[in-house]
Structure 1
Amino acid sequence: MDIRSKGLVKPHSSLFALLARVLDFSAVLLGVVVTALFFKGSVTQDYLVAALGSVVCLQLAAEFAEIYRSWRSETIWAEAKQVSLCWSASFIFALAVGSMTHLEDTLFSWPQFAQWYLLTLVCLLSWRLLARFLLQRARDKGHNTRSVAIAGNGALAIEVAHRLENCTWGGYVIKGFYDDRQGIKGELEDVDLTVRDAHGVQRVQNFAGEFSDLIASARRGEIDKVYLTLPMRAEKRIKWLIKELSASTVSVYLIPDVFMFDLLHARTVNLNGVPAIGVVGEPNRGTMSILKRMEDVILAGLILALISGPMLCIAAAVKLTSSGPIFFRQTRYGLDGKPFKVWKFRTMTVCEDNSAQIKQAQKNDARITPLGGFLRRTSLDELPQFINVLEGNMSIVGPRPHAVAHNEMYREQISGYMLRHKIKPGITGWAQINGLRGETDTLDKMERRVEYDLHYIRNWSVLWDIKIIFLTIFKGFIGKNAF
């Protein structure tokens, strides 16, 4: 094997980790110095004390987030997210301490602290982006690469291969698939697998050999990493292969075949020393839940301030055009399947709640008042649900809450239906702006709605929420299926 392909970073990982810490310290110091010179014309002792304190906070946060580990197999966005969270937490703590001291009149006054925060964040991310660029250039030329092999076959093996193939910045050179089962060579001939190396894009020799060939290559030092993609039932083969590979220095990774399940925010956890895989995870918990809640409170407050006038007009119209209460409160399932009362303007002559049989509104439904029909078609009857958002029972964006009777019916008929309740229900959602609103008179319609809801939960982000809210304004309120 060409000595150039051996790792250049890993043998000196401790030195590179130390260098990364020094660069982070320099980034914080540079941010303080530039801010001091821009606003004060000189760097005083107070600024240096603030820089030292924030560096200590950053290093403590970095230990918890492990930002000085290898990011070879992960995207720059994943690394940038962790670094940004670490610096933000450190800065907030330093800002809180500084605001209680005399430093509040210097570095921690507006807009000085904002400039320091942003400038430091740009420096922290910039040197990492530059390092990624230089490492990728070196790997494209055959330096600092990793030779990897995949043990097994089938969908999981092919999925791992394509993930490695798409990880263009990682410098992975795939030797191919290894398996000792009969017929495996023929099964892999149609797999379109390519890798990028110093000579450009080349096709991989898909079937590289049997397990005996894999073990021999590993012992000769020709392979750096082995990914085991055997099915769960192949316990004996897995144990035997791991034992044989332990006679070499190759790194072995066991890829569990969890793709057979409907994954929802799957992640690994440490159960008192025992690794466990959460097949159904908990989205929007921890930091993400705080971010989601801040988004809801700020936007709901602004929206309620804007629509308070129209809501008063609608309330008066509901009261004057039909007998009964202005608002209709019905029991729905919320976060973790816990019941809550949803607010709506009354649009019917009846107020059904939590009955064993609740008939969905249909076209030309006699129960709907003339004004109620207009409110339902335009979704104006749902404006009071912003009160639910401020109460904390709902979110602005999320899966629409269904009546209790409908939940109990569909949870038995649609796989993964109750996973919609892993987050708070929303006033609007990904399903609604894609035309899946109103009556769900067939199982197929509800299955499609659930599919869109789960897709949203798996890929949630603040930017996506803003996009959904924006699209709701133009095509989410009015729909042909809303009666």
Structure 2
Amino acid sequence: MIDAAAQAAAGNDTIRPTVERRKRLSPAALAVTNEKVPEAYSPIVIAGLVRLADFVLIAGVGIALYLGYVARRDGVHWEYIAAIIGMTVTAVISFQAADIYQVQVFRGTLKQMTRMISAWSFVFLLFIGASFFAKLGGDVSRLWLASFYVIGLALLIVGRLVLRNLVRHWARQGRLDRRTIIVGSDENGERLINALKAQEDDDSDIRLLGVFDDRNDSRALDTCAGSPKLGKIDDILEFARRTRVDLVLFALPISAETRILDMLKKLWVLPVDIRLSAHTNKLRFRPRAYSYLGNVPTLEVFEAPITDWDQVTKRLFDHVVGGLILLAAAPVMALVALAIKLDSPGPVLFRQKRFGFNNERIDVFKFRSMYHHLADPTASKVVTRNDPRVTRVGKFIRRTSLDELPQLFNVVFKSNLSLVGPRPHAVQGKLQHRLFDETVDGYFARHRVKPGITGWAQINGWRGEIDNEEKIQKRVEFDLYYIENWSVLFDLFILLKTPWALLKGENAY
């Protein structure tokens, strides 16, 4: 059977190593993409963690002082604990009202210290006033209250100084930058860039990478307000896949509707925020319709999916639930590995290049289901029913999707897969000699989120062999629905439905 399979492979596949298509970029664009760029930290998540740290610190200090002094003398009274929690909540709300939970404020010293001291003092004055009117002033330990104020304030100040150094360090690393490209290398682009640069002294987080324009004539400037022109609109896709881009900002006027729509059809597949600058437009909307970059008004067109706390939640879900599933599946994986080893020579695990987040090429682990010498690392030839390359054990583990279990290593240890998400297709996956992205418009929009071991398309029957255009179109359609409607409960629902979908074994060979 192995010889027959080898002959079939030799006869049908005079396959040469496939060279992956990579679009060429200009020297200026390559200079930017070659810079080492660290992962970004979300300012929203940082501010949320600081709120949590303040709550724990304040409540901890108040309770520790109470237990160490008042409770030892008078015994534990839960009214004190309730008052401490109430003061802690009031303090965090006061800090929020004083507007000190912003990354730009964390970078400074004087502004955040004066606001914090004022808000902290207000909390204690409020507590003293409430105690007086409730006629409880004589029951409150003055030494405890004074110690709580002084020690709490001292620790808050120390914490803010440590936070300031941390935030400045992250800023120097570029982790807090919003890496931005401008679309429109003309007078409008110059005005927009100058408006953004005018705010740099105010600790703006905008980092301008360069400008792109869809024109090659004299209307497109080679250098726009000091920012180089990096290429045309078609180059943005490849540029954003080689380096981190957080924001695409259009400098075109709203009147250029046709040009903007043509560009958006190409760019919406990227996992970035896309905004239209409104600072030069004569048409004005209500103030709430705008989102601002400093003082520059913009109109939101597309937002990157699953960001900030959603991203944190999904990552925790993947690692916690994925780790538990990996432990539970370990005995089954050991038996499958033994069966593969006894069935045919070769390694137990198989690595294949797949599309990851934002078209990143990742190595996905699978149990080997083919004869080792007939392996197809790029998946240039689709596995079909009764495929001679598939081993006896391989047929079973492919039909039951047990060959996918090693992808839990990708989820738990490498973090380049999620438990739930669009399935990662092979980089050379084809339908009738055409790559998938050539078959379906917007195909790469599937990669706006991290791919998953299972997904909405899979539990709805769209898994296995892709032998007609409807199957790949339906996968993309269901994947895009998942991205737009993601929630933790949706992930949990898909995960719980997956075993039933696998038992049906449809379209898996």
Q: How does the TM-score come out when normalised to structure 2? A: 0.47
Q: Which TM-score applies when normalising by structure 1? A: 0.49
